[in-house]
Amino acid sequence: MDTAKESPLPITRHTRTRVWLHSLRPRTLPLSCAAIVSGSALAVWQHGFSLGVALLALATATLLQILSNLANDYGDVRKGADTVRRIGPLRGLHTGAITLMQMRRALWLCGLLAALCGCALIAIAVRDPGAIAAFALLGLLSIAAALGYTLGRHAYGYLGLGDAAVLVFFGWVGVAGSYALQTGHLDAIVFWPATASGLLAAAVLNINNLRDIESDPLAGKKTLAVRLGPQGARRYHVLLLAGALLCLALFAAFVLQHWSGWLFLLSVPSWIRLALQVLREPSTQAMQPLLASTVRAVLLAHLLFVVGLLWA
């Protein structure tokens, strides 16, 4: 289904710029950056920090997130998921302010920039031929994942696999990958905070999917929230937060072994408050403000984890 307009009504340059900025979804970008910052903090803790590698990793992660955001808009419009039935804000494609051709060009440009940035990252951070091949493959998979959430006949976001992808790329790849690029090795212990990062990012995605749980099935989009049902998705949300809490607690107790490692607990009251709101609020409309609150709570957890590491 193609609901976008190829010939939008005339709009001003200021409006077009604002629409494009909105399509980038700048509020989501700190989530991908937070994983890189956490991985870099782990590298500092292990005396392997590299500023150049960290900055390139941040740039690559940001470009991949933008690519994913643009691809999601394109795929959802083509498949009919982004319509007036959505509770969230309508995107530039659906309103006609951005044409399909313009979005395709933006996807190519963003994908190329992400690939170039990733190549530069590998070039300065990796020397071993086997590791170069492994990180190159990981980079290709990251681009494929950014595009494949809503694009293609078998878009994994429409199959309920988005949460698993978020765990992998916002957790294991973002945190453990950036750590490995800077230190030159990969330690199993970093997978505790990496898993926590992925679970928290999945909690953000789950709120988004709860918001769209009524409109998504109409377009054949069977997210995990749709598959679990309203109540199941709410209980799943609590499990995600509890799993992240457990991972961070295990890291603090058995790896860091310093009081500052428990600073992340200062963010837990906000997790609990938000979890209770998710459990008690049956309205899908109420998920929209909870989405921004959940993002802030996740970023606070990352910040406190980083401060705890640097203090230890």
pLDDT for the residue numbered 271: 94
pLDDT for the residue numbered 21: 82
Give tens-digit pLDDT for 230-280. 999 999 999 999 999 999 999 999 999 999 999 999 999 999 999 999 999
Task: Identify whether 244 is part of a domain.
Answer: yes
- Residue 2's pLDDT band (boundaries 50, 70, 90)? very low
pLDDT for the residue numbered 302: 98
**Which SS3 state, helix, strand or coil, does residue 202 take?**
helix
Amino acid 12 reads T
Q: Which residues make Cβ contacts (< 8 Å) with residue 99, sequence separation at least 6?
A: 4, 5, 6, 7, 8, 93
**Residue bearing the bigger pLDDT, 280 or 18:** 280
pLDDT for the residue numbered 8: 43
Tell me the average pLDDT across 212-217.
91
CA distance 94 to 81: 10
Cα–Cα distance list, 36 to 15, 120, 169, 172, 276 (Å) = 33, 16, 11, 10, 29
Task: Report residue 134 as tokens.
Answer: 């492994």
| pTM for the model | 0.91
pLDDT for the residue numbered 110: 96
Give tens-digit pLDDT for 45-54. 999 999 999 9
Task: Identify whether 3 is part of a domain.
Answer: no
User: Which helix (H) or strand (E) element contains residue 53?
Assistant: helix 51-79
Task: Identify whether 28 is part of a domain.
Answer: yes
Tell me the average pLDDT across 177-194.
97
Tell me the average pLDDT across 17-37.
88
Catalogue the E-assigned strands of 136-209.
Answer: none
Please check the confidence at residue 81 and state whether its pLDDT lies above 70: no
Task: Identify whether 222 is part of a domain.
Answer: yes
pLDDT for the residue numbered 149: 92
**Mean pLDDT for the chain?**
90
Structural domain of residue 230, as residue ranges?
A: 13-311
Task: Identify whether 307 is part of a domain.
Answer: yes
Amino acid 233 reads A
Number of domains in the chain: 1
